[in-house]
Chain A
């Protein structure tokens, strides 16, 4: 009998844990959204978060985009040459960057840098009773720590994605004109002619969603960090892993919504 009930109990227990986690995250997101529209607003903390999340992520996102754009140009050229379609390199690089690679790689790079940093910072604050101290000083930790970070990430990610798009296309341009023999003027004309406004804006919307995910996961796991160095370490890992998976899942869903015909 136990051979039958034990696996069922394990499935039930896992399902309940997963549902409880989804519920806790849902409540956490609800609290963030409710605090977003209610004063007080911590402008200084928001400004600091913008610098930390947006400005300081620029080098990482820029370099990622530059190399990705270059590699994409090489891949499309090599693949396209099999059926004499090398000329599509500029347009495919541009569309690939702005629709998919810019937002997804930008989101993943920021997840690695920012979600980890947020979870480690807030987790350490929790372990050293700084979160309790905030409460005793009549300051809501959700409002003071979470809302500025989530808002800053949601607003700065689209800008990072836009910068990444430009640098990525430029990476493709550099490789296309220096190694693949494209004429610079023709390359730019092909890039601009085939790119539509919605290609760019859909990528920016994705960037905003990914920014929200990154900061929310960092804050959630930091706020729920276990005790000691091990607890903070686990919170940091969980923040990066969950943000990365959610970004990829959200990207699939958004791509389906935006581009399915």
Chain B
């Protein structure tokens, strides 16, 4: 095994995955790269409403994808849904960005799972599916409350904050309890939901681990109890 500083191994439902601090899952045994919530062409969607956000978000997101694909050379890339911010996102992409995405479609096989923003995969761009079973794992956009088997999901854009020397640091993160793995959003203009929000914390019956993606692309692993907001949740639970 290589000593890639970006990677941290994880056992999930009996499969061995590598979490990549740049915001993706690398599954060596199946040569599969898993990414979530790319939200391509999001700035365009805002521009249509009169807010001219810099039209470089897709470019930046694609650059991250290129880096990940170059690093792992996957045979298969799975997008866990919300690959595009809008259903017609592919057509709204800038011509250069569209070419870039087309090129990525030529170097590897793609599966686009349906998200709530983009129920359909872009035309002629690999397969699309509502969900996907790979090995002992179930891949889907929306996490299920009581999955029968281990799952990998997106949708929630998890983010965690901690306090170090008086400074509050918030970063996108992976969340897992060994049975479920939530991916951070890879898209450039994607906000995050704090891991203590009921939508995330409520998914896990027991303790869970959080792996923060540093700006340097490396992961920092912390138990949930160490994060900001942990005590707040306890106070509330104790009170009711």
Q: Do A and B come from one complex?
A: no
| Residues of A near any B CB (own CB < 8 A) | none
